[in-house]
Amino acid sequence: MSSLNQALRAALDHRQDLLVELHQQGTDCYRLFHGSQEGAGGLTIDRYGPQLLVQSFHQTLEREALLQVQQTIGEQLGLDTLLVYNDRSRGNSRIDREDPVYRAEEEALEDLVGHEWGLNYRIRGRHAGQDPLLFLDLRNARGWVKAHSAGKSVLNLFAYTCGVGLSAAAGGAREVCNLDFAEGNLAVGRENGQLNPHLPAMQFVQSDYFPAIRQLAGLPITQRRGQKLPSYPRLEQRQYDLVLLDPPAWAKSAFGTVDLLRDYQSLLKPALLATADNGVLICCNNLAKVALDDWREQVLRCAEKAGRPVREWQVLTPGQDFPSLDQQPPLKTLILHL
């Protein structure tokens, strides 16, 4: 038995109780193997409903090993899955779409449906972007939002495919606004809404983060001298009861730079101001090199300086399918009660 197969079998054994719990919750999207912590750095294996998504980030997985992975999962979990392999070991973690190792069957690349917390999500093994349409390590945050959004207005920032917004709608939010710069992301969010026709309609705003959040916060939109800004949607100043801030590690536009390592404050301050009194701001940082304790202190200081001191805070960790040997998972989530 190969070392990978041994590590995979151990990982599946450790997840037995968790998978029972997730299935009872109405969830069939989860991580089956977290290679960096379970014996094969750079390899991830995820279930997305009927699909098995294998991704390698450090080195290409051989075809025989790939098929053995699918067989082992099928035998241990009793799953007949549709295999998709994304080799992302080349530059910038981009998918090798030539597929020299394994080309997925057409059925595996069709529009599929996965489930989380009883909700339906669009699943695509391949699309224009690089990452899956649902980030699995944020599952606990989506569950928290679903359980705490009844009657509230909810703002989902850097919404991606709007999973947090969908969870808020399912939890009884009276209003949900999803904001993202990419229309393609919001289009999938609309699909997710359509896949759950029993839920109330959500709002979708396509905009760069900085002009949108600064308008909501009542702050001026800054620009460099002599530089004309691109057009952006006009929004009224207002606050929301529950706000989620889940930015990418780094991004740059004409309006500003998202930099979680050097300048989280420029993202956080306007989000704090757009959160209502006695409201909740959930903020995330997915940089592994940022320590939770340091980041938490930075967040609390920023809130104090912004005149929005935190009354109470809590840390929300990813699910058990994302083990962390040092108890410092890359994704850090703080729930701030203002």
Structural domain boundaries of the chain?
Answer: 3-110, 136-337
What is the spatial distance between Cα 284 and Cα 141, in angstroms, rounded to a whole number?
10
The helix (run of H) or strand (run of E) holding residue 167 is helix 163-170
Residue 223 pLDDT > 90, yes or no?
Answer: no
What pLDDT is stored for residue 272 in this prediction?
A: 98
DSSP of 44-102: EEEEETTEEEEEESSSPPPHHHHHHHHHHHHHHH----EEEEEE--SGGG---TT-SS-
What is the spatial distance between Cα 13 and Cα 7, in angstroms, rounded to a whole number?
10
Residue 96 pLDDT > 80, yes or no?
Answer: yes
Backbone phi and psi for residue 305, each to the nearest 5 degrees, phi listed first: -65, -30
What pLDDT is stored for residue 119 in this prediction?
A: 99
Structure tokens at 132: 């899956």
Q: Which of the four pLDDT bands, split at 50, 70 and 90, describes residue 76? A: very high
What is the spatial distance between Cα 240 and Cα 149, in angstroms, rounded to a whole number?
11
Residue 40 pLDDT > 80, yes or no?
Answer: yes
Question: Is the full-model pTM beyond 0.75?
Answer: yes
In the chain, what percentage of residues exceed pLDDT 90? 97
Residue for token pair 């991580």: 31
Q: Are both 3-110 and 136-337 of the same fold? A: no
136-337: which CATH topology? Rossmann fold (3.40.50)
Residue for token pair 């960096």: 36
Nearest to 293, CA basis, from 322, 267, 325, 327: 327
**pLDDT tens per residue, range 184-203:** 999 999 999 999 999 999 99
Count of alpha carbons within 13 Å of 317, Cβ hemisphere only?
11
3-110: which CATH topology? Transcription Regulator spoIIAA (3.30.750)
What is the spatial distance between Cα 60 and Cα 64, in angstroms, rounded to a whole number?
12
Residue 225 pLDDT > 90, yes or no?
Answer: no
Residue 173 pLDDT > 90, yes or no?
Answer: yes
Tell me the average pLDDT across 212-235. Answer: 91
Task: Return mean pLDDT, the chain.
Answer: 97
Q: Which of the four pLDDT bands, split at 50, 70 and 90, describes residue 77? A: very high
